[in-house]
Amino acid sequence: MCGIIGYIGKQKASPILLNGLQRLEYRGYDSAGLAVLEKGQFNALKRTGRVENLRKPVLAADSQARLGISHTRWATHGGVTEANAHPHVSWDGRLALVHNGVIENYKAIKRELEAKGIEFKSETDSEALVNLIAYFYNLELKESGKSHKQALLQALRTALYQVEGTYGIGIMCTDLPEHMIGARKGSPLVIGVGKGENLLASDVTAFAGRTQNVVYLSDGQIAYLSEEDFEITNIDAETVSPHIDTISWDIEDAELGAYPHYMLKEIFEQPMAIENAMRGRFSQDGSTAQFGGLNIDPRELRQIDRILFLGCGTAWHSCLVAEYLIEKYARIPVEVEYASEFRYRNAPLDKNTLVFTVSQSGETIDTLEAQREAKRKGYRVLGITNVVGSTIARENDGGIYQHSGPEIGVASTKAFTAQVHIAAMLALYLGRMRDMSFSEGIQIVNALKKAPGMVAQVLNQTEHIKEIAERFAEKSDYLFLGRQAMFPIALEGALKLKEVSYIHAEGYPAAEMKHGPIALISPECPTVAFAMKSEIFQKSLANVQEIRARKGPVIAITDAGKDFPADLADAVIEIPEAHEVVQPVLASIPVQLLAYYTALARNCDVDKPRNLAKSVTVE
């Protein structure tokens, strides 16, 4: 979950590293550090808190070094202190390392090294790794005939064979002032291929404005970089031929522009994100969806008896929406599992089960490991992800790219609605393959195509939603209630509010309120109630009546217009009346804005909420 970036080239490293860290800060912002190699020694600076705390001392140092590594931390082992911040320098001063991941057996490694007289300065697992590599490096150098490069690469391989856990690392060595090394297992690592320079980072966002050419490292690979070239081997020292990908978005896509926060920017980017998710994905006759990357024959798809969706957090909520829509329109049984639980459950699956993994980043460690477990057991696994070249995308059997563009805000918005819209398209695709009629297919396609314009209509109510958020901002508890496909949106609304405003919030199926949660209803606990025009509209109104009878404030989100009783809620947010497949996307927009403006009213940092990071790459 930490962010790392390294640079080697013809320009001063420090400003480039700082700018990269700024773009990676959504991956962790407990502390930040930077080290450059200059005149045979490391010059390191570390600060707790945000990257901005590091900028002034780094720029004041005005280093001319052209090689450096840097890190923005999301703490796992050890508290938030400068000693625990990265980069970590080995006890002998020869190696510096930045690390994203978790070394699970670091305590045993640390005990062994301390027994050999090696001293530690931090509480981190990462320092154990750099000292282990340095220990083996010193042993390798004692063998005659080995170059510094050969010795360090062999020491790195020996050390990595001994560690348990995950890592994406960048390394500098005082004996190799013209080179930088990277290695990965379980945590993402990408090479940015430039002209007269090369970069190493945990995310392509760090390269924005410098290069659009990238190489995604796979697990067990080691990269050896100079300013003009790079080479990749695996942990067994076998040469790997690199595949260079091109980033499809521009630097402006990752910049704030005129918006005060990335979260708001990305909320307003949703019409385009949904448009991009649909582009080129409808048949010529306009009766069904089509997906070019599934890599599965329609005849095979017709044999599927069950679908399993795996995801975490917001992605898990989009999976729940997929369950409702696919079961209704394609008549295929669907199960949704937390990816973090699936790997350890040994759940029995029918042989004709198709597995979908859903992850915005394509690097979510729990989802990645769940995907590997499903593949290990012989199941066909498809993915829905936003990042081309991500590990999940490279390791599955096929899938669907969202094409949402970079999402920087920690609280996912446009990636979620794009996932939900793709779920609706998938329900259409599978339904038309089975028993959905041509005319119903055309009806759904037309509804899906109207979604971006309808989302824009909801966004026109931003000031109204802001007023509602400010009115209830001081409340400490919230309930979100929805039925059928609105239940996952209730869960997502509660999560968004928790993430960015730190208000305790819970999402429930509306009918379940009477089975316990109704005890929470009071004037101090507002309820966000979804009341959509459907066969259960009157039942939704009855749930709201029960809340009002107990003096609970109600914020209603509805597409019923004048059919929603004006005196039944303290505040009403209207969304356009739309086909059922579009309702979940439209209903998501108000709860995103509600969370955003509530957080602002409570002076919370919406883009960098406490204790959270964007991409969960450690278990």
Q: What is the pLDDT of residue 398?
A: 95
| Token pair listed for 199 | 């970069």
CA angle 187/189/192 to nearest 5° reads 165
Site of tokens 């829905």 = 384
Phi and psi for 260 in degrees, rounded to 5?
-75, -25
Domain range 461-619, CATH architecture: 3-Layer(aba) Sandwich (3.40)
Q: Residue 50's pLDDT is what?
A: 87
With both helix axes pointing from N to C terminus, report the angle between 486-501 and 314-329 in degrees, rounded to the nearest 10. 170
Amino acid symbol at 394: R
Predicted TM-score (pTM) of the model is 0.85
User: Pick from 566, 576, 574, 472: which is nearest to 525 by CA?
Assistant: 472
Angle at 134 between CA 101 and CA 241, to 5 degrees: 60
Q: Which residues of the chain have pLDDT under 70?
A: 1, 144, 249-253, 613-619
Q: Rg of the chain's alpha carbons, rounded to an integer?
A: 26
With contact defined as beta carbons under 8 Å apart, do 300 and 347 qualify? no
Tell me the β-bridge partners of 41.
Answer: 38
Distance (Å, whole) CA 200 – CA 1? 16
Q: 256-459 falls under which CATH superfamily?
A: Glucose-6-phosphate isomerase like protein; domain 1 (3.40.50.10490)
**Strands of the 504-509 sheet, one edge to the other:** 504-509, 477-482, 527-531, 554-558, 571-574
Count, residues in the chain: 619
What is the three-class DSSP state of 564? coil
The reported pLDDT for the residue numbered 334 is: 97
Homologous superfamily (CATH) for 3-253:
Aminohydrolase, N-terminal nucleophile (Ntn) domain (3.60.20.10)
- CA–CA separation, 175 and 95 (whole Å): 9
List, in order, residues 6 or more apart from 322 with CB less than 8 Å away: 309, 334, 336, 356, 420, 423, 426, 427
Structure-token match 């590599």, residue found = 133
Whole-angstrom distance, CA of residue 138 vs CA of residue 499: 46
Taking the CA atoms of residue 599, residue 602, residue 607 and residue 610 in that order, the dihedral angle to the nearest 10 degrees is -110
User: What is the per-residue pLDDT across 295-306, written as a single tens digit (0 to 9) for each?
Assistant: 998 889 999 999
Active site residues: 2, 614
Percent of the chain residues topping a pLDDT of 70: 98
pLDDT score recorded for residue 251: 58
Same fold, 3-253 and 461-619: no
Q: Where are the domains of the chain?
A: 3-253, 256-459, 461-619
Count other C-beta atoms under 10 Å from residue 438's C-beta: 12
CA 456 distance to own-chain centroid: 25
What is the token pair recorded at 230?
Answer: 């790079």
